[in-house]
Amino acid sequence: MTLTVILLVAFSIVLDVIGQLCFKLGLDRLPELEGGFRLNAFWGQVFNAPLLWAGIGAYALEFFVWLEALSRAPLSLLFPAGALAYCGVVLAGKVVLGETVSRRRWLATLVITAGVMLVCAGHA
């Protein structure tokens, strides 16, 4: 794997994590709707939520970064490497959102990371 591909995958992972954080923070900051859930009012709130738009923007940019990575390396290498985004989201959930992460979830995150390392080591 070339340095360019590594950087593209890393940038894609960072954008994915940022997108997920923006979605979570944006939805958490929406005001409660009076009288229960009303779809029209909900969508009005969603379209006026800057953090949700930032998440969409991060995903749009990630789409083009991912296409560039796909043009340079095999999917069978990139897709497992992209799984590191799951690890990034768990870490960001803990650090940024203050979520509780169990030992089992940390262990699963470590297993994902080890699996990615095994896949990528064969292409070094």
> Under a CB-based contact definition with an 8 Å cutoff, are residues 78 and 39 in contact?
no
pLDDT tens-place values along the chain, 124 residues long: 799 999 999 999 999 999 999 999 998 888 777 766 666 777 888 888 999 999 999 999 999 999 999 999 999 889 888 888 999 999 999 999 999 999 999 999 999 999 888 888 776 5
Give the start-end residues of each E strand in the chain.
none
Residue 31 amino acid letter: P
Q: What are phi and psi of 78, to 5 degrees?
A: -70, -40
What is the rounded distance in angstroms from the CA atom of residue 52 to the CA atom of residue 74? 32
